[in-house]
Amino acid sequence: MIALTEQEFRMKSDEALESARRALLPLADSREFEVELQNGVLNLEFEEPSDARFVVSPNAPVRQIWVSAMARSYKLSWAAELGSFALDGETLPQLLDRLARMHLGADK
């Protein structure tokens, strides 16, 4: 595994957060939750079925993207083979989509 330089990490993490934001917009529009990218941090804000916030932020010293959601923390590292930040093969957009659907209750 090749470690990213800080500059590479910043570039790839910015791209990853923007890509995840775009990927979530259709779900956010249909299920009425907010997806905001501000100051390098991605926030998902839910009012239904309960108030909740998911926070997605880059952690430059360890070259990871950290996700705080549903009382858990997820630490995603760069996976060159996937071209994405991932945890156990699940990319950032996939993880956020799964967690958002779990929070919303996918069966509704």
The chain-wide mean pLDDT, for the chain, equals: 94
Q: For the chain, how many structural domains are there in total?
A: 1
pLDDT > 60? residue 106: no
For 58, the enclosing helix (H) or strand (E) is strand 52-59
Least confident of 28-37, 41-50, 62-71, 99-108: 99-108
- Digit-coded pLDDT (tens) for 48-86: 999 999 999 999 999 999 999 999 999 999 999 999 999
- Sign of the CA dihedral with 75 first, then 78, 84, and 90 last: negative
Supply the range of the domain harboring residue 22.
6-104
Q: What is the pLDDT of residue 3?
A: 81
The C-alpha angle with vertex 100 and arms to 94 and 105, in degrees rounded to 5, equals 125
| pLDDT tier at 108, thresholds 50, 70, 90 | very low
Residue 1 placed within a domain: no
Residue 13 placed within a domain: yes
Residue 21 placed within a domain: yes
Residue 14 placed within a domain: yes
pTM of the model: 0.93
Q: What is the pLDDT of residue 94?
A: 97
Residue 44 placed within a domain: yes
pLDDT > 90? residue 34: yes
Contact assessment for residue 73 and residue 62, using Cβ atoms and an 8 Å cutoff: no
Give the CATH number, domain containing residue 53: 3.30.920.10
- Digit-coded pLDDT (tens) for 80-93: 999 999 999 999 99
pLDDT more than 70, % of the chain? 95
